[in-house]
Structure 1
Amino acid sequence: MSRSILLKQLQAQSITPENFRSYGQVIFPSIDGKAYDAEDAQLNLQNGIPRIYIMRLHHQGRKFHKITRHVQCTQCLGSLEGKDWLIALAPPNNDTDQPKLEEIAAFRIPGNCFIKLEVGTWHAGPYFDGDFVDFYNLELSNTNEIDHFTHNFLESHNLEFEIASIS
């Protein structure tokens, strides 16, 4: 007998430095020549060769059942062309192989900033409503081969998530 899949709706909240702190940092534009400080991305890329690249993602809706984390580096993501996007996150928790359900949150990221995910932050996305969006991605050159840990909520909880539309 097959079980019906549960669907949990996540309302995307607008990102601020305060509400994003458990997951990482949000970096907004600053004046050229500003001295380095705590508002700049605090990167951890010492465990390998840093890689920055542009990845083209195609629209795949806003549903997900898998969430991933990287435990050897921080990761930075941002859209090109000023496009808004969505991401679902859970704070790092290195004592278990899955995020806490009650801590999963969704954010709307405006196209004029980027995010830096702390080491171990669980993430699903980026999601968006257009046909495709180009994103820059800063991580390690081998992150997707050796530092890519995924939890599948369909297998563990018969659960799928959907992020509410961008408003």
Structure 2
Amino acid sequence: MPSTSKLYQLQALWITPEAFRPFGQLIAASVDGKSFDQEDAQLVLDQGTPRFYIMRLHGRGRQFSKITRHKQCTQCLGSLEGKDWLLAVAAPGSADCPEVEAIAAFRIPGNCFVKLEQGTWHAGPYFDHDTVDFYNLELADTNITDHQTCNLDAQHGVTFEIVPQA
């Protein structure tokens, strides 16, 4: 049966700390020896064993019809080798699926990380490169015990394509 999904183009803006605040934090370089403060990642990893690893992703493109959240922990993502990438997000909430209008997209340079707030809906990382390696910090069992996914095609009849800002 052919899909009746509507393709919705989502403009990805270059990430800034202010624009990303409803979804988490933008973590950039700071001087060595700086005291811990609110600019540092405010992590929640006390519900299990933290897992820090490098995940290799291939040919992700820029389209998605599913969005996921983790309610028990924060998650940090950042690319290696300075490669920019794309991430779609919606703020945490009590609904089982975010509204289409609540989804935003960001273009993230390869010299910083994002920390997703607990419960932040996210789709990605997406990119146009052949392969990108990402640092990922979450819990060891996040993708087993704390992985709620919403099928945006089934719920809203929409598939997104992220269009990066130049």
Please list the CA deviations of residues 25-55 of structure 1 after superposition, one character each: whole Å capped at 9, or x if unmatched.
Answer: 0001001110000000000000000000000
Mapped to 2, the partners of 1:47 and 1:32 lie a distance apart of: 29
- Provide runs of 4+ in structure 1 moved above 3 Å: none
1:77 corresponds to 2:77: yes
Whole-angstrom CA distance in 2 between matches of 1:28 and 1:165: 21
Q: Within 5 Å, give how 1:106-117 maps onto structure 2.
A: 106-117=105-116
Unaligned runs of 5+ residues in structure 2 are none
Q: Is the 8 A contact 2:48 2:139 kept in 1?
A: yes
Aligned to 1:8: 8
| Worse overlay, 150-159 or 78-87 | 150-159
| TM-score of the two chains, using structure 1 as the length reference | 0.96
Alignment of 1:4-153 (within 5 A): 4-93=4-93, 95-153=94-152
How many residues are matched? 166
Classify the secondary structure of the residue corresponding to 1:110.
Answer: strand
| SS at structure 2 position matched to 1:42 | coil
Q: Which SS does the other structure have where 2:82 is aligned?
A: coil
5+ residue gaps, structure 1:
none
Distance 1:55 1:45 in 2: 19
Matched residue type, 1:154: D
Among all aligned residue pairs of Structure 1 and Structure 2, give the percentage whose two residues are the same amino acid. 64
- Contact 2:87/2:105, CA 8 A, preserved across alignment: yes
